[in-house]
Amino acid sequence: MSILVTGGIGYIGSHTSVELLNIGEEIIIMDNFSNSNPKRIEEIEKLSGEKFKFYEMDLLDKNGMEKIFEENPEIDSVIHFAGLKAVGESVAKPIEYYYNNVVGTLNLLEVMKKYNCKKIVFSSSATVYGDPKTVPIKEDFPLSTTNPYGTTKLMIEQILNDLYVADNEWSIILLRYFNPIGAHKSGLIGESPNGIPNNLMPYINRVASGKLECLNVFGNDYKTIDGTGVRDYIHVVDLAIGHLKALEKARNTQGVKIYNLGTGNGYSVLEVIKAFEDANNIKINYKIVARRPGDIATCFADPTKAKNELGWEAKYGILEMCEDGWRFEKNNCY
């Protein structure tokens, strides 16, 4: 049996692929390199000491995905990362986000159904909780969204729920990520977005490396400890291990299961900047600018359910996240 990993060369996908190979799983990766680098293929193989099949493919290419399943009839499960993922960009390009993320996933599910592959771990997001009335956030909180990116995740969750209602043979795990940062301890793989970063840590890294002059902090008038947005930052390797636990659950159960993957701790943007400075002894220049469309004040998880049902909990702290993220940037910026 083998696992198809869509978007497996991207930031979270590459770390999860390494962890899967490390425990002896057979994987097949598809990725279109829209927000990833082909050299990651080599780095995943170097870190794991294992080879894997790779297809340069887009979810919108349904015939191409059929080819993957035809050529690899042993695929019994899918970990689905592929999709556009920037909140701000989704506000500016909603049609692109709805088409790519929702239609792409529908294509994947149709092909999975055709080839009787009915186990999927889906990369969802804490954005499906919208602007929560209280924190920490539990899985049974009301769902709403404040931006098109989050809405695509919520739509796909609904599609997957409806799919199970129609066919009880499906096993579906919805993983609601909070804010992944950091990198593999080796410094070989990490977050390396194309163009100007949308996420905080690669932005900080590029200021630290001198590639960017200053970090824009979007808003300091939120009702938080220092006026800047508060998020639950989770080490990407912790997140990757969460997928291994979720896959194990998917293989041993039917139904739809939902889990928050976060640390349960919230840090403001200014607190993350300070942690980075303390961890790496580098001063980060920043300036306060207007709020970004679609952002909310505070968002952090209650990860109790994942601990109780998956046997998973985050192990890395904020300083290690900052150290590991900077190690990757140093290895790749000069």
pLDDT of residue 333: 66
Residues marked active site are found at: 149
Residues 215-252 pLDDT 10s: 999 999 999 999 999 999 999 999 999 999 999 999 99
Quick check: pTM over 0.75?
yes
The rounded Cα 158 to chain-centroid distance in angstroms is 19
Query: What do you get for the CA distance between the two ends of the chain, in Å?
Result: 41
Q: Give the contacts of 63 (CB within 8 A, at least 6 positions apart).
A: none
Classify residue 98 by its DSSP letter. I
Residues 88-137 pLDDT 10s: 899 999 999 999 999 999 999 999 999 999 999 999 999 999 999 999 99
Q: How far is CA 58 from CA 34, 39, 290, in A?
A: 9, 18, 35
CB burial of residue 66 (10 Å; 0-12, 13-18, 19+):
middle
**DSSP-derived 3-state class of residue 154:** helix
Order across the sheet with 53-56: list the strands.
53-56, 27-31, 2-6, 75-80, 119-125, 171-177, 255-261
The dihedrals phi and psi of 72, each to the nearest 5 degrees, come to -135, 70
> Structural domains in the chain?
2-181+234-263+302-314 (3.40.50.720), 200-229+265-300+319-333 (3.90.25.10)
Classify residue 9 by its DSSP letter. T
CB 302 within 8 A of CB 260: yes
Residues 25-52 pLDDT 10s: 999 999 999 989 999 999 999 999 999 9
Vertex 19 angle, CA 245 and 116, to 5°: 60
